[in-house]
Homo-oligomer: A and B are copies of this chain.
Amino acid sequence: MVLDILDLELARLLAKYVREWNGRGWSPATSTNYSFRNDAAHIAVSKSGVDKSQFSENDFLLLDLASEKLRPEYLEEQPDIRTSAETELHTALYKVNPNIGAVVHTHSVYDTILSDAFFRSGRSELVLCDYELLKAIDGYQTHEASLSIPIFGNTQNITNLAAEFRRAYEQQPDMKGYLIAGHGFYTWGKNIAEAKRHLEAFQFLLECQYKAILIRKLI
């Protein structure tokens, strides 16, 4: 069921990118989730359990942002329908920052293992420095900058994780993405294009970070 109020143009655009990112290996095995701000009152969130190589605009469900509940029309048609289990992490972002227009969550090899390895070694952030590509991140005009990506421990209690994110965001309101240890990466943007730009930049930089660690003592 596709509701009349779904912004089909945005849904089609993000769905196309979701399939592309799947082709890059960032959403294995039906994992990961995506959303965009549909209008003042609603966000569209990806359905749970869809193979992302076949993700389409019909796989977005509208949620009332205030109540964080699915629009009732879906449940009338299919009582057991649900959005991603991590929907609360999306709504937390739209609520703390009215300028956020899209949120993307991936599982790439590099976001998974770097978050895991750093967190196990006791670190709560991964810092990116001196890369020209930092300029692809909103607010960065130069490579001479340090960008901190918080790393949260993984948990199945999404409510707790959302609370931990909100506390961190209060301390670091210029946060542009965060990692969950052994789990994956969240980033966002003022619209879908910016979220895409942020995602591509961060995934590139995480791969650089990993591969730089490997040669650090060999140069």
Contact = CB atoms under 8 A, between A and B. Distances in A.
Interface in A166-181: 180-181
The 9 A-B pairs of least Cβ separation, nearest first, read A132-B183, A29-B136, A29-B201, A28-B204, A29-B200, A28-B200, A29-B197, A113-B212, A117-B219
B212 A215 contact: no
Given A116-B212, A117-B219, A196-B51, A182 B130 contact: yes
Contacts of A130: 116, 154, 181-182
Contact of A142 (B156, B212, B215, B219): B156
A contacts with B: majority SS: helix
A204 B25 contact: yes
A29 B107 contact: no
Contact of A208 (B51, B112, B204, B207): B112
Contacts of A116: 130-131, 212
B117 A216 contact: yes
A5 interface: no
